[in-house]
Structure formats: C-alpha cells, structure tokens
A and B are shown apart, each in its own frame.
Chain A
Amino acid sequence: MKKVNVQKEILSSNDYVAQQNKDFFNHINATVLNIMASPGAGKTSVILQTIKNLPDLNLLVIEGDIAGDIDARKVEELGVPAIQINTGGGCHLNASMIQAAIERFPNNNIDMVLIENVGNLICPAQLNLGEDFKVVILSVPEGHDKPLKYPIIFQSANLVLLNKIDLLPLSDFDMAEFTGYVRRVNPDVEIIGLSCKTGEGIEEWIECLKGSFE
C-alpha cells in the first residue's frame, strides 16, 4: 500500500473558469452581480426595478432557471438583452455556464451584468461565477429566522436585500431579530429593506449600486 499525495482543491476547475470570467468582465469594464434567493423572493422583480432605475447604463441580464424563459422575456420587454440559461434540473449556476453565456453577449458595451441564479438558498453560495458582488435577497414572508437556517449563503453575501417590506405590518417578521441573525453570520454586511411593489427602499439600493462603480 502506498499513499499518493494529491493536495488538489476540488472546486479548482470551477474557480479557474470563474477567474477567466472575472478577467473578461474586468476587461470590458462591467460590474457583475450574482443575485441569489429562494424561488419567489423577488430576484426578477429586483432586476426589473434596477433596469427601470438605471436607464443611463448598459445592462445585461443572465437568467438561470431549471426550465423556461419567462424571466428573460420580462427583461427583454424593458429593452435590455437577456441570456437564458436552463440548467435542466441543476440547482445552481456554475462558472462554465457563465462562460458559455459570455459567448452569446450581443456586444461588449456593458456597464453591468445582473446574474439571476437558480432559486435556492443552498448551493448557489458555494460556486463562484466570476462576479464582483454576491447579493442575497430574502423576502418578508419567508421569515426572519432564515439566516440561521441557511447561514452559508448569508455568510457569502456582500449585500443583503430584504424584499416585500410592504408586508411587514401583516406578518410576524421581526426586523431587529433578522438584522441580528444576519450579523451573527456576516457581521459587517449591509442590509437594505425594500419593496419592489411600492418602490420603498429602491432608491437606497440604486445608490448603493452606483456606489459600487466608484
């Protein structure tokens, strides 16, 4: 019996491609967001609001879904190019899927790429895509305890959005508890509350995005 030393990172092949993506995005000067949340938390709504509030920027959206192109069509209706990735059962996007999507970019005159990951609070957190920022969205009806139940995704976040705050008066969602739980897994992360329905908080989110360009 002999031991063969290996010492190889298992995610190295994904990380290698993610770095290639990042190099490409840097080269064309595009800021890239990887938007992650459960199904129904409002990823697409946040993207649509972002498009409406950043009319002077050239945006591009990459949509990750198991099947269908409903979200991509909503984006295209606003005049923004959308590239649909269907994972066919896969529960997350990986760096190679983004690399393939880059091949389909209509042009490289892009200021910001918004990647909507597959709806899921578990595995999207574990694979880098070459993004600049990971944005995690939770919505009020999901409950304030989620950061403790899905700590890894909240730990990975560069920014946390709490969507559907217009529903706060109707629910038992405790904002102070939520903030405390997020801070326990990710002490310094910024949290922005917003409602894509009423528009409350959208300005703060857009200002935060603009800040990321400076």
Chain B
Amino acid sequence: MHEYSITESIINIACEELKNINYTKINSINIVIGKLNGFSPECIKFYFEFLSKDTEVENAELKFTLKNIKLFCPECKKEFETDEILFICHFCNNTKNLSILSGKEFYIDDMEVQE
C-alpha cells in the first residue's frame, strides 16, 4: 500500500524532468533501489499502470536496478555484500558499528526518450 504514494512521487519527478527536454516518446524510467529500502518494484509497477494514465509518462516502462546491501566492518576492515538485513560481519562475526556502504538507495537514475 505504501508504494502508492511512492509511485506518485516517481511520476511527479519524471513529468517535471520532461518539461525541460525535447522528446517525442518516453521509453523507460530507470530507478535504482537498495535492498534495505523494503519497497517492492512489483508493487510500484502495479500502481504505475493506472497512476500514470493521462500523464506524460503513460506507457513508459519502469526498469529497476537492485542494489545489494554492502557493509563495512570496522574490526577487520573488510567490505562484504549480503542479502540478509542482518548486521554481522561475514569474516569476523563482529556486530558492532558496521557501516552501510550501499543498500539504502532509492532514486531515479535516468530516463530513455525518443528525440
């Protein structure tokens, strides 16, 4: 359900960007989403279908690039990727002060348009 308002934001940002460029057709909106965000691309696509109706981005395809969770361990000074949202070092099992290098991203990277 919370993807509804998120999808509205995506459409607003994309339509605002299109005001500044010359184009005939918009093919895709490319979104980067980190796995720590918890937003569902499938859900966003579902809402996009009807929320984009009668807007400039109607019929555009939403493409998602998923960013893995990447953490840095201050104990052993190593970086590692993980699919789990659990903060434990894969190398030394440290759980303290792990920093997030990626996984929280959520932005529109670019759009593909026909000139």
Contact = CB atoms under 8 A, between A and B. Distances in A.
A12 B10 CA distance: 10
B113 interface: yes
Q: Is the interface of A mostly helix, strand, loop or mixed?
A: mixed
Contacts of B65: none
B90 to A, nearest CB: 13
A90 B5 contact: yes
A87 to B, nearest CB: 10
Interface residues of A, number: 34
A10 B36 contact: no
B85 A155 contact: yes
A10 B10 contact: yes
Interface of B: 1-2, 4-6, 9-10, 12-14, 17, 21, 23, 27, 31, 36-39, 85-88, 95-98, 106-115
Contacts of B96: 187-188
A206 interface: no
B17 A4 contact: yes
- Interface pairs A-B: 6 shortest CB-CB: A123-B2, A151-B85, A6-B108, A91-B1, A152-B38, A4-B111
B107 A8 contact: yes
A27 interface: no
A123 B4 CA distance: 11
Contacts of B2: 90-92, 122-123, 126-127
